[in-house]
Amino acid sequence: MPKSQFMDPDVLRQPGFVEFEPIPVNQYNKTIKEESKNFSKEDFMRIYRDMAIIREFEQMLLDIKTKSEYQGISYNNPGPAHLSLGQEASAVGQAYLLDKNDYIFGSHRSHGEILAKGLSCIHKLDDKELLADMEGFFDGATYRVVEGKEKDKGNVKDLAIDFLLYGALAEIFARETGFNKGLGGSMHAFFTPFGIYPNNAIVGGSATIAMGASMFKRINGKPGIVVSNVGDASMGRGPVWEALNMGAMDQITQLWEEGHNKGLPIIFNFFNNLYGMGGQTVGETMAYNILARVGAGVSPTQLHAERVDGYNPLAVIDAMRRKMEILNNQGGPVLMDTLTYRMTGHSPSDASTYRTKEEVDKWAEHDVLVNFEKKLVEAKVAKADDFAAMREDIRERMMKIVNLAIDDNVSPRMDLAKNPNIIADMMFSNQKIEKMEDRTPDVLIPKEENPRVQKIAKKERFGFDKNGKPVSKNKVYQLRDGLFEAIIDKFYEDPTLVAYGEDNRDWGGAYAVYQGLTESLPYHRFFNSPISESAIAGSAVGYAMSGGRVIAEIMYCDFIGCCGDEIFNQLAKWQSMSAGVLKMPVIIRVSVGSKYGAQHSQDWTSMCAHVPGLKVVFPVTPYDAKGIMNSALNGTDPVIVFESQRIYDVGEQFHEGGVPEGYYEVEIGEPDIKKEGKDVTILTIGATLYRALDAAKELEEKYGISAEVIDARSIVPFNYEKVLESVKKTGRIVLASDACTRGSALNTIAQNITEMAFDYLDAPPVVVGAQNWITPCYELDAEFFPQKEWIIDAIHEKILPLPGHVATINFTETEQIRKNKKGV
Amino acid sequence: MATPVIMPRQGQSVESCIIGKWHKQKGDQVNVGDMLFTYETDKATFDEEATVAGTLLEVFFEEGDDVECLLNVCVIGEPGEDISAFRPEGEAEEAPAEAAKEEAPAAAAPAAVAAPALSDTAKDNVFISPRAKNHAEKLGVDVRFAEGSGPNGRIIERDVEALAQSGVAFTKAAQAAAAGSTDQFEGTGIGGRVTTGDLKKPVAQAVTEAMAAEEGVAYTDTPLTNIRKVISKSMHNSLSTTAQLTLNTSFDATEIMAYRKKLKANAEKLGLGNITLNDIVLYAVSRTLLEGHEDLNAHMLDDKMRRFNHVNLGVAVDTPRGLMVPTIFCSELKSLAEISAETKELAGACQGGTISPDLLTGGSFTVTNLGSFGIESFTPVLNAPQTGILGVDTIVQRAKEVDGEIKYYPAMGLSLTFDHRAVDGAPAAKFLKDLKNNLENFSVLLAK
């Protein structure tokens, strides 16, 4: 909503036409002879070699999958293998010009891409760099397996090829010496020192992530480009469209500051093999006819879209050269529709019932290796024998690699019996890093001059005055101030930190947490995203993976439903799937609504807590908000920070002395006793805390029951010690939150308490959550969300009957059974 | 590593043994060969010696507990070692009494909570919270008697608390031994706790039913009658201000029985058929006391002895209102027939409540008779400041040798309590001896 851009009706209401430029389709038509000035004999032969290596690698896997044997070597590989036989030219053509600063992100069918990119890097890197990369990776664990086994002794590039093939294959065979210690596997293998970033088993999953990586490069002025490799069928996925749009959004060229205002350096490449599993994208499941057409619909640049003949490596190299020039000059994004064909099924179990033998045979006649060799022989670049010798050499190398990768002695699997915590220890990186890079952060004014900072300086940092009277809302330091203070401090500390989401800039965020941030930060560090939750979350993953820190905002918790994959499958998993190679310093700020009905009022902490790999916090006091945000921002793990719209304006009522002005951290995972008591414990998640405190007051005054109220603050991780200590003292516990009761994380906590404090319990822990309904209108709030009375009723009916108390909520067993029977 | 010590099985038929004495206490240092505890079967007593050295970390049973053979009795090891694995099943962690007390205040404000009722009958099927259960074990109460006030009648902590305050508490050993029993037990242990001993005498079901009929009230408060107050005061005064000592003896009652028989047989002719053996004893006492036993016919006062010139004989009488002791003044001057008649008259007046208060004071010596209840010997309590009281016991058959032959004779017991401050043992014994002599030769006494 920049005021600088005038939406002029006089212009906008003028008649006219949207016009398109023709989109090139397979326009490359050069001969070998014509290309001889661009490629040496060695270059041609290397292109052939790289394609042949991929061919042999995939053929080897096909043999092992289908016959449990390769060249007389027996092996059974139960893991997946989505092979790219037939697609070698497209992979090698793409990688030919890329170096280690260029990142590629792939799909489930990316063995060929990672090998091609690796081989290209090996060619470009000098021996010293290569050795450093190999020796430095997992302290040389992978390197030591192949070290000294190169055929051409002392040839580092030869050794590096062994290393690349072995690291990839050991990963596919789930060996601890693989590129990701076997935790990624076939569909996720990657090797960041060569610029090979994660492949993704979610169709189209790489598009938003790669876009985020390109944002990192543009925002932080990093060299290199980013390639998002997804399949043609992924064009059916919303997140891919979101990535195309957000990657091409106008503000980058129109509003971002000098030095950052070139389009994103990204190629959205679609390896178009014409099938999504069995679904034929042209003629059956999609509408584009020619995939490149889509580019024309996204932006006036048409995303420089083009269809390229992926069966000719030279055509792909030619296209890449032209596209990289665009990225370097005016910027991207670029869309490439790289036509190719896979000769085998989606996977070895695919009977190819959706295509005819004639079709496959016909593509076999176009076989990339056969035809490229033929052309090179015809152009007298080399003789047929040279190719045969090369293929034999590759076969020998592959046998050597296979023998190493299946040898349990040199390529062991993770020993979880010996060290049961190997994987557990990789779920979070748990590091504290003040700034991801050491340089001066790009800001517009000194922090002291920020109007919000000045405004906050005048506020009362504790919620009560000297006489114990509440400070007025206008004067009190609010929860939103706590969040702001932590965030702006980090912006002036970590140059890589960016924040974005819907209505963040100018508006200041829908709930004014970011009010005043616009004045301090340039556009490229703080901007409005399109309404594209997948792209918001997915790009944050890519941004962090590349080395940056990011705060992405999902305006309403309910919208997590729009970025489920990005949060649950991507954000949560890449640290551990990379075996700790990647860090994920991402804060997802999520606001829990209260008066906007069924699609804007849900507390989904439980959903986030269920998925391993996410830290989940819900601070509800200004002190905790600042301290937890500080912890999250200083850490290296993905943290979903829940905020309640009910209490953005609440003052600090608990921390003596109010919210400190300086830096402090509230440790994530530590619950906090907000009120001490001895007869019953009330544990809350989120804003329910304040209703629990009301309940505690009434219990004390009316029934002489002293309640201890504990604020969970974090759901994952969660330290039970304090709660157990409390329950052992009181013998009774009610757990309350605004999440729907069924499947609430509170049930997990209750179960753990039951197990660990059973002998101390005077009654089973009772969970008081919201109804298992839709959230009705605000006027019916009290019927849906846990109220003070519910907590007291639950104690009365299920824990400790209170003389004279009349319950209003039915907590009886019969009612519990009835409700569950009805699914409510 | 901690080593458990088991209750050895001394013979195939022995199922359990009773712990006699602990020679080591929890926390003591133990060396190999040290005696840990003694234990008894129904036939013999054994010593258990330590076979390992270390610290006695835990003792699972107390003296007097009947322990199943082969169960762990105690654990020896290094301080700090976890011994929970050795705890015999059902033996809960014992907390110090102080800790139990600290936890005792009910969680809920007691004033606001109606006192949970005490269940009048023990239940077999008890729903109880783990916390309440643990609390009950610490307090030693039998939760089967608790009335659950929690949801669905669950027994919760406050119910155990209420039960503990109202009564039925068990010692640990007793609780284990009583498990499964639904009888009620009367507690005679510390604080009214039911001990293993009490388990042998279940209170009759009738009592339970009577209690039930009283709508759960387990007792009735009745104000003390004045007579009871007087008895209470004088009894306590007697025992707390004097130095009482009791001597027991018996005498051959053949002659007095024969004499009484004779009187009875001639009742119509003599009109003396109502003379009882007790009357005869009274007569003998009245005569014997003044035969050199004046110290027993006296009052022990603060700084003096008051010896009486006459034998004013107190006679203990059981009445519905309590014990009363009317006086036969100058008894040594009265005939057997007079003593007998007066005794009956006084007793009747006591029982009818018409006795003159004057006749309830002035005694110099008292005779009390529990013989009719079959009491063989007892300790009469002095009617202070009197210096002596004679208890008359029942008659039992005893054997004695007469001319080389074992002969049975009726032996009547005499229990003399005297104030040792006033009288020494020998003179008291001499009185008994003289009295015995007079009774065994009653016809001679009558002739005097």
CB proximity B113 to A under 8 Å: yes
Q: Which of B47, B183, B358, B424 is catalytic?
A: B424
CB proximity A758 to B under 8 Å: yes
- Nearest chain B alpha carbon to A796: B151
- Nearest chain A alpha carbon to B134: A759
| Interchain proximity A731–B150, CB inside 8 Å | no
What is the C-alpha to C-alpha distance for residues B32 and B39, in angstroms, rounded to an integer?
18
The CATH number assigned to the domain with range A447-644 reads: 3.40.50.970
* Closest Cβ opposite residue A801 in set B129, B134, B151: B151
Q: What is the mean pLDDT of residues B114-120?
A: 52
* Closest Cβ opposite residue B129 in set A762, A801, A802: A762
Q: Report the pLDDT value the prediction gives residue A416, as an integer from 0 to 100.
A: 94
Q: Report the pLDDT value the prediction gives residue B194, as an integer from 0 to 100.
A: 62
Alpha helix ranges (H) inside A671-776: 688-703, 721-730, 745-757
- Report chain B residues whose CB lies below 8 A from the CB of A803: 112-114
Residues in B 122-181 with any Cβ partner in A closer than 8 A: 129-132, 134, 149-152, 154, 156-158
Contact B258, B441 (CB under 8 A): no
Token pair belonging to B165:
């305050």
Kindly indicate the confidence band of residue B91, based on its pLDDT and cuts at 50, 70 and 90. low
Token pair belonging to A762:
């005077």
> Which residue out of B87, B129, B147 would a mutagenesis test of the A interface target, given it has the greatest number of A Cβ atoms within 10 Å?
B129
What is the C-alpha to C-alpha distance for residues B106 and A762, in angstroms, rounded to an integer?
12
Q: Report the pLDDT value the prediction gives residue B206, as an integer from 0 to 100.
A: 47
| Interchain proximity B129–A761, CB inside 8 Å | yes
* Closest Cβ opposite residue A800 in set B130, B134, B150: B150
Other C-beta atoms closer than 10 Å to the C-beta of A75 total: 16
Domain-by-domain residue ranges, chain A?
32-408, 447-644, 672-822
CB proximity A420 to B under 8 Å: no
Kindly indicate the confidence band of residue B101, based on its pLDDT and cuts at 50, 70 and 90. very low
- Report chain A residues whose CB lies below 8 A from the CB of B152: 813
Tell me whether strands B388-402 and A226-231 are parallel, antiparallel or unpaired: unpaired
| Interchain proximity B134–A759, CB inside 8 Å | yes
Domain-by-domain residue ranges, chain B?
3-91, 98-213, 227-447
Q: Report the pLDDT value the prediction gives residue A678, as an integer from 0 to 100.
A: 97
Q: Report the pLDDT value the prediction gives residue B170, as an integer from 0 to 100.
A: 62
Contact A56, A395 (CB under 8 A): yes
* pLDDT at B107 > cutoff 90: no
Find, among A1, A489, A494, the residue nearest to A251 by Cα.
Answer: A1
Q: Report the pLDDT value the prediction gives residue A716, as an integer from 0 to 100.
A: 98
| Interchain proximity B112–A803, CB inside 8 Å | yes
Residues in B 53-112 with any Cβ partner in A closer than 8 A: 107-109, 111-112
- Report chain A residues whose CB lies below 8 A from the CB of B150: 762-763, 799-801
* Closest Cβ opposite residue A679 in set B107, B131, B150: B107
| Interchain proximity B130–A704, CB inside 8 Å | no
Q: Which of B23, B299, B310, B420 is catalytic?
A: B420
Residues in A 705-724 with any Cβ partner in B closer than 8 A: 705
Give the strand order in the sheet containing B29-30.
Answer: B3-6, B72-77, B54-59, B29-30
What is the C-alpha to C-alpha distance for residues A768 and A770, in angstroms, rounded to an integer?
7
Q: Which residues of A are catalytic?
A: 600
Instruction: List C-alpha distances in Å: A245 to A532, A586, A737, B7.
Output: 9, 22, 38, 82
What is the C-alpha to C-alpha distance for residues A122 and A129, in angstroms, rounded to an integer?
9
3-state secondary structure at position A805: coil
| Interchain proximity A762–B156, CB inside 8 Å | yes
- Report chain A residues whose CB lies below 8 A from the CB of B134: 759-760
- Nearest chain B alpha carbon to A764: B129
Contact B367, B282 (CB under 8 A): yes
Kindly indicate the confidence band of residue B176, based on its pLDDT and cuts at 50, 70 and 90. low
- Report chain B residues whose CB lies below 8 A from the CB of A760: 130-131, 134
- Report chain B residues whose CB lies below 8 A from the CB of A797: 151
Q: Report the pLDDT value the prediction gives residue A208, as an integer from 0 to 100.
A: 98
Check if B424 is active-site. yes
**How do residues B352-391 score in pLDDT, each as one tens digit?**
878 887 888 889 999 999 988 889 999 999 988 899 999 9
CB proximity B364 to A under 8 Å: no
Homologous superfamily assigned to B227-447: Chloramphenicol acetyltransferase-like domain (3.30.559.10)
| Interchain proximity A761–B131, CB inside 8 Å | yes
Check if B23 is active-site. no
The one-letter amino acid code at B62 reads: E
- Report chain B residues whose CB lies below 8 A from the CB of A762: 107, 129-132, 150, 156-157
> Which residue out of A759, A762, A814 would a mutagenesis test of the B interface target, given it has the greatest number of B Cβ atoms within 10 Å?
A762
Residues in B 381-440 with any Cβ partner in A closer than 8 A: none
The alpha carbon of A235 is separated from its chain's Cα centroid by a whole number of angstroms, namely 19
- Report chain A residues whose CB lies below 8 A from the CB of B149: 801
Q: How far is A812 from chain B (nearest CA, A)?
A: 9
3-state secondary structure at position A441: coil
| Interchain proximity B114–A759, CB inside 8 Å | no
Which one is the CATH code of A672-822: 3.40.50.920, 3.40.50.2020, 1.10.490.10, 3.30.420.40? 3.40.50.920
Residues in A 663-682 with any Cβ partner in B closer than 8 A: 678-680
Kindly indicate the confidence band of residue B145, based on its pLDDT and cuts at 50, 70 and 90. confident
| Interchain proximity B157–A803, CB inside 8 Å | no
Find, among B304, B323, B300, B324, the residue nearest to B244 by Cα.
Answer: B300
Token pair belonging to A376:
């090179």
Structural domain A32-408, CATH architecture: 3-Layer(aba) Sandwich (3.40)
- Nearest chain B alpha carbon to A680: B107
* pLDDT at B215 > cutoff 60: no
- Report chain A residues whose CB lies below 8 A from the CB of B95: none
**Same fold? A447-644, A672-822:** yes
CA angle A702, A703, A709 (to 5 degrees): 95
Kindly indicate the confidence band of residue B267, based on its pLDDT and cuts at 50, 70 and 90. confident
Kindly indicate the confidence band of residue B95, based on its pLDDT and cuts at 50, 70 and 90. very low
The alpha carbon of A622 is separated from its chain's Cα centroid by a whole number of angstroms, namely 29
* pLDDT at B183 > cutoff 80: no
Average pLDDT per consecutive 10 residues, chain A (824 residues; last block may be shorter): 86 96 97 95 98 98 93 93 95 98 96 98 97 96 96 96 98 96 92 96 97 98 97 97 98 96 97 93 96 97 98 98 96 97 87 89 96 96 96 98 97 95 96 98 97 96 94 95 98 98 92 95 98 98 98 97 97 96 97 91 97 98 98 98 96 96 98 98 98 98 97 98 98 98 98 96 97 94 95 96 93 92 96
| Interchain proximity B108–A800, CB inside 8 Å | yes
* Closest Cβ opposite residue B151 in set A679, A730, A798: A798
- Report chain B residues whose CB lies below 8 A from the CB of A801: 149-151
Q: Report the pLDDT value the prediction gives residue B96, as an integer from 0 to 100.
A: 43
- Report chain A residues whose CB lies below 8 A from the CB of B156: 762-763, 800
Q: How far is A784 from chain B (nearest CA, A)?
A: 25
Q: At what angle do helices A156-172 and A384-405 cross, to 10 degrees?
A: 50
Find, among A796, A788, A785, A789, the residue nearest to A690 by Cα.
Answer: A788
- Report chain A residues whose CB lies below 8 A from the CB of B107: 678-680, 705, 730-732, 762, 800
The one-letter amino acid code at A507 reads: W
Q: Report the pLDDT value the prediction gives residue B100, as an integer from 0 to 100.
A: 39
Q: How far is B155 from chain A (nearest CA, A)?
A: 9
Structural domain B3-91, CATH architecture: Beta Barrel (2.40)
* pLDDT at B159 > cutoff 90: yes
